[in-house]
């Protein structure tokens, strides 16, 4: 009986450490018409947590952000919540960006962006990577983020 109790107690204590993830992530592509009537394929990210779901529309690659796509890995949980990774750019400047979210008032909110910028602008034209973190104040609720706002935040908002 003690063995059964110890196994049960260990599973209750250790389950949060090794159990199921807190968030679920998926992405899907949908056809969308631009105001001009031109059809494009937009990626949407779906985040689930505790029975709730949020949907985030992303910029359209090569129309709204050059070579834009989900990073690798695209999603990961963190101690405070999760991040979504994006990569974009081309030519002399490539970006890899992590958008960090944590739950504020019951909804994931963007509170920090880490930008890794790799460029070869300066002689001898070797690649140089700079990493910068910037807080988002005030944090932006995920329900208030859309492709335009994400596009404005890319690359340090430059």
Tell me the DSSP string of 34-49.
-TTS-EEEEEEEEEEE
3-state secondary structure of 18: helix
Domain spans in the chain, listed from the N-terminal domain onward: 22-157
88 with 65: CB under 8 angstroms? yes
* Residue-wise pLDDT tens digits, 47-68: 999 999 999 999 999 889 999 9
pLDDT of 37 reads: 87
> Which parts of the chain have pLDDT scores under 50?
1-18, 157-158
pLDDT of 91 reads: 81
Residue whose C-alpha is closest to residue 134's, from 157, 109, 112, 101 = 112
Instruction: Please identify which residue in the block is written with the tokens 């920090």.
Output: 112
Which helix (H) or strand (E) segment holds residue 70: the answer is strand 69-77
CB atoms < 10 A from the CB of 22, how many?
13
DSSP string, 77-91: E-SSEEEEEEEEEET
- Ramachandran class of 93: left when φ > 0, alpha when ψ lies in -120 to 50, beta otherwise: beta
């Amino acid at each position: 009986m003690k063995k059964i109790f110890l196994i049960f107690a260990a599973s209750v204590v250790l389950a949060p450490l090794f159990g199921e993830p807190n968030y679920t992530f998926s992405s899907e592509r949908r056809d969308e018409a631009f105001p001009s009537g031109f059809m494009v394929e937009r990626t949407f990210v779906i985040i689930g947590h505790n029975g709730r779901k949020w949907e985030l529309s992303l910029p359209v690659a090569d129309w709204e952000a050059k070579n834009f796509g989900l990073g690798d890995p695209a999603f990961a949980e963190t101690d405070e919540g999760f991040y979504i990774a994006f990569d974009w750019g081309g030519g002399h400047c490539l970006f890899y960006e992590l958008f960090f979210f944590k739950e504020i008032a019951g909804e994931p909110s963007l509170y920090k962006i880490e930008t890794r910028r790799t460029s070869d602008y300066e002689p001898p034209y070797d690649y140089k990577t700079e990493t910068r973190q910037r807080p988002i104040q005030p944090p932006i609720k995920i329900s208030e983020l859309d492709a335009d706002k994400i596009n404005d935040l890319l690359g340090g908002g430059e």
